[in-house]
Amino acid sequence: MKLITAIIKPHQLDAVKEALEAYGISGMTISEASGYGRQRGHSEVYRGAEYTVDFVPKLRLEVLVDDMDASSVADVILKSAQTGRIGDGKIWTQQVEDVIRVRTGERGSEAI
Amino acid sequence: MKLITAIIKPHQLDAVKEALEAYGISGMTISEASGYGRQRGHSEVYRGAEYTVDFVPKLRLEVLVDDMDASSVADVILKSAQTGRIGDGKIWTQQVEDVIRVRTGERGSEAI
Amino acid sequence: MKLITAIIKPHQLDAVKEALEAYGISGMTISEASGYGRQRGHSEVYRGAEYTVDFVPKLRLEVLVDDMDASSVADVILKSAQTGRIGDGKIWTQQVEDVIRVRTGERGSEAI
Ligand SMILES: Nc1ncnc2c1ncn2[C@@H]1O[C@H](COP(=O)(O)OP(=O)(O)OP(=O)(O)O)[C@@H](O)[C@H]1O
Ligand SMILES: Nc1ncnc2c1ncn2[C@@H]1O[C@H](COP(=O)(O)OP(=O)(O)OP(=O)(O)O)[C@@H](O)[C@H]1O
Ligand SMILES: Nc1ncnc2c1ncn2[C@@H]1O[C@H](COP(=O)(O)OP(=O)(O)OP(=O)(O)O)[C@@H](O)[C@H]1O
Ligand SMILES: [Mg+2]
Ligand SMILES: [Mg+2]
Ligand SMILES: [Mg+2]
């Protein structure tokens, strides 16, 4: 299994969520984060306000997937999160050794 | 070393924390998250309110452990987080290459 | 590529950020977290208040780096986060299989 983590613009969440649902993804976790990339010092617009501070609000998504879905799911997030403007985000993929579904105790791919 | 991440129901935190302490776990990190699993569209109950929105509030736990403890610690979380109702959560295990304890500069298993 | 995650004292953020900038790091993600280490039950001071509760507020940093930078970046965080008092934090390093820069679609080291 793989864990795909994405830092996205908050207002792209609906687009990313719909694209993941259309792909058939069964679940995801989000949390609030903030950060900066290469334009630190430059400003980004968020909710109509211009952020000149370093840390711009972002959303952090986590999606557990089967090995065979990992590359497609990263592409689905890439396309749906992309606005073409600076600060669009990062997506990274990591190996996961085991997954457990808590209610049923299932493990591995069955648990996702 | 391993990193065990668990998404649990917020009201299970005390049970999970007590179970991890009873096992002898020396530390953990929690953060607020929200998410959904396979019943997206169905509702879950949280603090007496029924959530029909997609994202249900959850807690995200991280526990760094020695290789030899990883499987037992995942089981301890599984048993203490389980209520038998939908939305009980996910637990996943990942490899960690190095750990540093900041105050002492210790590394590896000593640092956990 | 590697992902370096650090749990630090919130008031050390500026020092860590400046040290990472001085090293030449191009981006980072932060989120709010809380936790405890080995002195659970003992108290920690945060913003002048003594916390006797278990979970002390912390910041969670994530930095994606090239393989060749991983060890130096962990050291930069270690030195800048260290106050010498209990609760200074943990740093861990994990393998990352792929990184994507969302705006440009670049992958791998180019994407960081
Ligand atoms: N090296 C990094 N490590 C961890 N998180 C990062 C890193 N770089 C960027 N991020 C996270 O991704 C978010 C968006 O980054 P951003 O899209 O600005 O990257 P970028 O490389 O500057 O690309 P662009 O030129 O398109 O802005 C940041 O706010 C931060 O949360
Ligand atoms: N594929 C996934 N990737 C990332 N996080 C997930 C995934 N599936 C579920 N989660 C997280 O775990 C939480 C709980 O999921 P949940 O227990 O509902 O999973 P489930 O497979 O639907 O199991 P159940 O049938 O018992 O409800 C979600 O709110 C979400 O935060
Ligand atoms: N085993 C662990 N797993 C996950 N997170 C941890 C673990 N231990 C500590 N942490 C996180 O790191 C934070 C700081 O831990 P802390 O520095 O107190 O570790 P420690 O081993 O007790 O070191 P010290 O003796 O210097 O206090 C905790 O609040 C928690 O968020
Ligand atoms: Mg940028
Ligand atoms: Mg569910
Ligand atoms: Mg401690």
| Contacts for C90 with CB less than 8 Å, ≥ 6 apart | B27, B64, B99, B100, B101, B102, B111, B112, C6, C7, C37
Alpha-carbon distance of B43 to B21, in angstroms, equals 32
**pLDDT at position B52 over 80:** no
C11 reaches B (C-beta below 8 A): no
How far is ligand 2, taken at its centre, from the CA of residue B10, in Å?
Answer: 14
Weakest mean pLDDT among A72-86, B27-41, B60-74, C33-47: C33-47
pLDDT surpassing 70 at residue B44: no
The domain ranges of chain B are 2-111
* Exposed / middle / buried, residue C83 (Cβ in 10 Å: 0-12, 13-18, 19+): middle
Distance (Å) of CA B68 to CA A87, B2, B64, C20, C34: 41, 9, 12, 34, 26
Question: What's the ipTM?
Answer: 0.95
The residue nearest atom 25 of ligand 3, judged by CA position, is C86
CA distance C85 to B24: 23
Architecture of domain A2-111: 2-Layer Sandwich (3.30)
Question: Is C100:C107 a contact under the CB 8 Å cutoff?
Answer: yes
Q: Do A78 and C105 touch (CB under 8 A)?
A: yes
What's residue C50's pLDDT? 55
Give residue-wise pLDDT tens across range A3-50.
Answer: 999 999 999 999 999 999 999 998 999 999 999 999 875 566 666 665
Q: Do A81 and C101 touch (CB under 8 A)?
A: no
Strand partners, B7: B60, B90
Range with the poorest average pLDDT among A45-59, A94-108, B18-32, C65-79: A45-59
Whether residue A76 is predicted with pLDDT greater than 90 in this model: the reply is yes
C38 in contact with ligand 3, CB cutoff 6 A: yes
The span from the CA of C112 to the CA of C100, in Å, is 8
